[in-house]
Structure 1
Amino acid sequence: MSGARAALLREWLANPWTRLGARDMLATGLGIAAWGMVTGVAMVKTGLPAPLAVFMSLVVYAGSAQLAVLPLLAAGAPLWVIWLTAACVNLRFVIFSSMWRSYFAHLPRWHRLWLGYFSGDVIFVAFLKRFPKAEPAPEQVPYFWGSAASNWLAWQVPSIAGIVLANAIPLSWGLGFAGVLALLGILLSMLGDRTSWLATLVACTAAIAAFALPLKLNILVAIVAAVAAGLGAEAAARALHRSRQRAQGPAA
């Protein structure tokens, strides 16, 4: 059995689509690594024991959610606030999974569950650029896993390094600022249409306007406002498209 698994692993590594997926992640790998290290350091500096921080990094595997709940944990916020914040931050994965279904619905459930765990923002964007047509193709699975393996390592290795070395890394290194720059770089690479730009601007405005709220609830307000703006913009665009089609119908 181990020999068969080794052969499958060699076949997967030799697949050109696997290597292409891994290469596509190199463009954002440095930003992901900086973000992961900042998150690892932040977990320990917030007061989490190193083993629990490693467990959180491996199981949660969602940098934005981890960073969002850390101030709440430090402030002793109610558990429902922590869970609600993490859920709202990760709402985008509901949208991602609905779109992944067009490509991976034919796979076994256990396989789709692993796809859900390894799914990420940059993987989603890179995948749709390579496969804009929402239908299954044999090269999609190796491409996804090549991207996922590269992205997972780019996150977990620096994150765990940050956890282990947190007390040895001085604040003068300015890792927090480096993490902000990494996040901005990743964010800008994902803003490809008017809807995403609108949602981003609304989120920034709402976060600043609600900054005085306790327990960092301005983050939750910003997420809700951004989701509402994005959904509203998408609905308006679909309505405009349908009205144009009806207007062009008789002329055709």
Structure 2
Amino acid sequence: MQSLFSAWRHPQFRVGVAEMSSVSLGIAAWGLVTGVAMVKAGLSVPLALLMTFTVFAGSAQLAALPLMAVGAPIWVIWATAFCVNLRFVIFSAQWRPFFMRFPLKQRLLLGYISADLSYVLFMKRYQTPSADEAVGQVEYFLGGTTLNWCAWQIPSVIGIMLAD
């Protein structure tokens, strides 16, 4: 595959979207609640928007909010978010054989858009890397994670705006 950005044309991209769609409503509800919680915890709208787009991790966001609200030191907030997201180290270790062939910038993008449910669905479908299945693996991943990202971000932004 020449580029991650050409993946949307591949049939496995649509399969990833279809399989992620079964859980998208729950993701959207969680995103909406997190968006509201950020503003109600005292974050300004611009800061809440910045947080939702840069910290694409609802559990870390919700863990950090009360600490931010009470003025905890930044290192405590960062350490809390780090601990909450340690599961992504495990995810990354399991994804490594599938995605190591990509340049670092593309792997960082794949890491940014990854999430718990994209991990579960991908590993359920592709338990081990296989040359026979290599075509379509990243496209499937991108289909699911693209829908997951949109199902999170759009309601999160709506929640931020509604709470303001």
Superposed pair shares fold, TM > 0.5? yes
Give the distance between the partners of 1:158 and 1:120, measured in 2 at CA: 16
Give the distance between the partners of 2:97 and 2:8, measured in 1 at CA: 25
Equivalent residue for 2:57?
62
Equivalent residue for 2:25?
30
Matched, 1:73 2:63: no
Q: In angstroms, what is the RMSD of aligned CA positions?
A: 1.6
Alignment gaps of 5+ in structure 2 = none
Give the distance between the partners of 1:126 and 1:106, measured in 2 at CA: 21
- Out of 151, 157, 160, which is 2:157 matched to? 160
Equivalent residue for 1:139?
136
Q: Which has the higher contact order (CA 8 A, sep 6+)?
A: 2
The runs of at least 4 consecutive aligned structure 1 residues that moved more than 6 Å come to none
Alignment gaps of 5+ in structure 1 = 168-252
- TM superposition shift of 1:19: 0.3
TM-score (ref. length: structure 2) = 0.92
Equivalent residue for 1:233?
none
Equivalent residue for 2:88?
93
Matched, 1:123 2:113: no
Give the distance between the partners of 2:143 and 2:84, measured in 1 at CA: 26
| More moved, 73-82 vs 63-72 | 73-82
Give the distance between the partners of 2:96 and 2:9, measured in 1 at CA: 26
- Cα deviation 1:175-214 (Å, max 9, x = unaligned): xxxxxxxxxxxxxxxxxxxxxxxxxxxxxxxxxxxxxxxx
Tell me the matched-pair count: 160
- Cα deviation 1:100-153 (Å, max 9, x = unaligned): 111111111111110110111000000011111234511101111111110000
TM-score (ref. length: structure 1) = 0.61
* One-letter amino acid matched to 1:122: L
Larger Rg: 1
Aligned residues: percent identity?
Answer: 56
